[in-house]
Structure formats: structure tokens, C-alpha cells
Amino acid sequence: MANSFLVIDDSKLHHQMYKLVFTKGSLAGSTVYYASNGREGYALLAAHPELSAVFLDLNMPEMNGLELLERRRSEKLHPHIPIVLVTTESSPEDEARGRAAGAWDYLRKPFQPADLERIVGRALAQAASRSA
Amino acid sequence: MANEENAFGELIQDYIVECLPLAEAVADTFVELERRWQHGDSGGDLLAPVKGQLHTIKGNSAMMGLTPPQNVAHALEDLCALLGDEPARRGEQAAALLVRGGGLLIELIRGAASGADAEAAAEFVDRVRSFVGARGGSPGDISPDTPDRRSNDRRTGDRRKLAQDRSANVVRIDFRRLDAMLEVLGESMMEQESVAELYRRLSRKVGAIDELVDLDRALVALQKTLKRLESLLMETRLLPISSVFNRFPRLVRDLAQAEKKSVRVVSSGGELPLDKAILDRIGEPLIHILTNAVAHGVESREERARAGKPAEATLDVGHAGLMIHRATPGSATSGGVRVPAPTSI
């Protein structure tokens, strides 16, 4: 089955950036869902238990990244899906809060396609080892 | 700029589309902030949301490898943080820095596709560093994603979401392509008219045979369809006149400052749609009118004081006309110089 990803970011520019990475190289053919805020993102997360990974922006309208993580943890929604929190210059305290709320990893902006591919590779490897 | 080398360089137009309105909002806010400070208002409600917009511009610029706008946005972000924390630092110098930075940010983003002035950005960052450095901080310091900034971002995000909802079904198209489409449509209409003329000649020759009646119906239907297409195509060329008006507050602020006057621009009717070709043509004449209005239509601060007028004059810009109010209570601002409406230029 093809890998599938969820991008939750309020920037259309960032959606385009993810699209560039997910349509090239080893990730070409992946299914990618996009949401523009935490609320939409949470609904998509709930609807897609097969997701390989989620890329979640920290600062968003309606429901921010931390709020989404906290809700997901309290509702125990698909805890097997790794969620990567994407931030710009987050403080160590923010990172700690994010990890405590269930962020699987961090991706700091500005990132390069290789950074994204690397983190996806680790998420897929983890999923493979879990199902082995 | 080095965006060609950036992995996301091909998204440069998307970057401009997303960041330019943010930069324009930032620059407008700074002009308004300066005005408020001149009137003893802290403008605290303006300072907070602008930090979120700057943070977004900074992040997007960094992703695109566009260092000059990234550094300018970062410097402005830190300057705003300083001015938020230390109201005593607010003043003429700080306002001038903010306004200059806002204008520079627009220039850098607008010119992102063709290369921009990295030196101007570096010079501005140095100026901010000197200003902020008087306190001991530096624009090079990292501004983390604080919870306060996050709540500001949320407000900014709400506005951005509205814009995104509106733009969800929008595609960008080179205006020259619209011109070409209009030209092709014009040719189609002339060809349709040639066929209609041929029909009329044929009809006179052979009379009302069934096939010609059908041809007539088909020609009338084709004419209607082409008219509909023409009207839709003309609509796609329309832009709100505010796309021209939005340049004025910053421009007038600079002109007024050079003349040692206080002038505020108030625009109305900005939603009026106009063909982009017209908008492209009225921009420069309007700027000329505004320049003259500030230079010759508004009195010096001393003259205004002597006449018992508020120090600040108001320039009302609207599509029905452009005027400086006559000296009447309430809206009294200046000598009452009237200038022609844009349509009569």
C-alpha cells in the first residue's frame, strides 16, 4: 500500500512545498492530505488511521499544533501515527511541551527536502518494525 | 537573490502571493502606528498582530532561501518586541525605522523573483541593531515561538484563513495571456460577423429555405455565446481600485514628512472594480495629484495652527473624486483645494 501523509499548516505556500517533496524521488506516489488549521487536521487524522506520518505546524488559527496534540492524547486517537511538530525557532520549553503532548519528533523551519525525507524514512522504518 | 538554488525556488510566485499582502498589511500598520504615536496613543492593539505577520514572512522567506526579507522581518519583529516592552522607546526615530522597514519588506518581496537589494536590507538591519543595541539586545537574537506570539499568530491566522478561503478557487494568470485571449475573442466576433453577413447575402439570393433558417438560429446563438464570453473575460480583468489606493498611505506619509507636514490618507470605495489596464495607467497620475496635494494643497503646520485647524490634514481618496476637505467643523483640515476625479485625467 502507498504511503500516506497528512500536512496540517495554514500556509498554502507550505502545502506547495510539501507537495514538491512528496511528488518526487522515493516518495512519489504517496497520498497526501492537506489541512489549513488544527480543526480540519484533526478531522482528517481521525478519518485516516492508515497515515504513515503527520506534519503539524505549531502556529495555526482555530486549533494550534499543541492543542491538537493534547486533544489527540486525551482522546487516544490513533496513537500509532507519528506526528512531527513543525516549528520556527521554538524554545526548548516549547519542544518539551510538544513532546510531552505526544509529538513524535520536531522539524524546524527552514527545512530542506532532504530533512523531510530523512524524517519520513525514520517514521516508515518505525512503522515497518512495529508491523514485523 | 539566491532562490534559484533553493529547493523550493520554483514556488517563488506562491511566496510572493502569500507574503506580499502580509508585508503590505505590516507596512500600513506601521504608518498608522506612527500616526497614533504622534497623537499620544500607544497603538498597542496594532503592535501585537503585526508580530505574527512578520514571523510568518520571516519563516516563509527562510524556507525560500531569501535572506534579505528574512533578516528585515526578523529585525522588525525584534524592534516590535522592544517597543512593546519599552513604551519609552517609542517615538519619531522608532516610527521612522518601522515605516522604512515596512516599505523595504514590500520592495524585497515584490522583487523576490527578479533579485532584490541585499545591501539595503543589510543597511536596515544594522540601523535596527544600533537602535535595539542601545538596550543591549540585537536583532540577531532568536525570537522564540512564545505563547504570547502564538496568540497573536492566531489572530493573524484568522485573517489569513479568511483570505485563503477566498483564494481557494483562484488561479493566477499572466495578464498578457488575458490580453491575448481578448484579442482572439475579438477576432472570433469579427469572423462571426463575416459569417452573419454571408448569411444575409445568401438569404437575399435564395430566400427563406429551411437550412438558412437553421443557420440564422445558429448564428444568433453563437453571437450570444460570444457576448457572454466577452463579458466573462472582461470581468476576469477587473481588480479592486484599492490595489492602487493601498500604495497611498505610505507614499503620502513620506511626502508629508519631506514637507514637514502631517497628512493622513483616508480612502473609500476601494472595492470598485476596474480593468487592470486602467489601474496600471491611473497609478502614476494619481501619485502626481497626491504629490501636488501635499505640496500645494496642505498648509504648513504653523499656518494650520494659525488658522485654528488640526495639525494633521486629511486626504480623502475615493473613486468619485479626490479632494482635500474644506475647512468646516468636524472634517475641517485644509484650504479646500479640489482636484479632478481620476476618470477625468
Q: What is the pLDDT of residues B14-44, one digit of tens each?
A: 898 899 889 988 998 999 898 888 888 888 7
pTM across the whole model = 0.67
Which among B11, B18, B145 has the least Cβ separation from residue A91?
B145
Q: Where are the domains of chain B?
A: 3-167, 175-236, 240-344
pLDDT in tens, B82-110: 988 888 888 888 999 999 999 999 989 98
Share above pLDDT 70 across residues of chain A, in percent, rounded to a whole number: 97
Listing from the earlier edge strand, what are the strands of the sheet with A4-8?
A31-35, A4-8, A53-57, A83-88, A105-109
Query: Which residues in chain A are closer than 8 Å to B57, comparing Cβ atoms?
Result: none
- The CATH architecture of the domain made up of B240-344 is 2-Layer Sandwich (3.30)
User: Is CATH 1.20.120.160 the classification given to domain B3-167?
Assistant: yes
Which among B18, B142, B150 has the least Cβ separation from residue A13?
B18
Q: Is A40 on the interface with B (CB under 8 A)?
A: no
For residue B342, the model assigns a pLDDT of: 38
CA dihedral B267, B270, B276, B280 (to 10 degrees): 0
pLDDT above 60 for B139: no
Higher pLDDT, A37 or B323: A37
Mean pLDDT of chain B: 79
For residue B112, the model assigns a pLDDT of: 86
pLDDT above 70 for A17: yes
What is the distance between the alpha carbons of residues B270 and B272, in angstroms, rounded to a whole number?
5
pLDDT above 90 for A73: yes
Mean pLDDT of B113-127: 85
pLDDT above 80 for B238: yes
pLDDT-based confidence at residue B184 (cuts at 50, 70, 90): very high
DSSP codes, A38-82: HHHHHHHHHH-TT-SEEEEESS-SSS-HHHHHHHHHHHT--TTS-
Higher pLDDT, A72 or A60: A72
Find, in chain A, the residue whose alpha carbon is nearest to that of B61. Answer: A110
Mean pLDDT of B125-154: 57
Mean pLDDT of A16-29: 88
Which of B224, B158, B135 lies closest to A64, judged by CA? Answer: B158
For residue B111, the model assigns a pLDDT of: 85
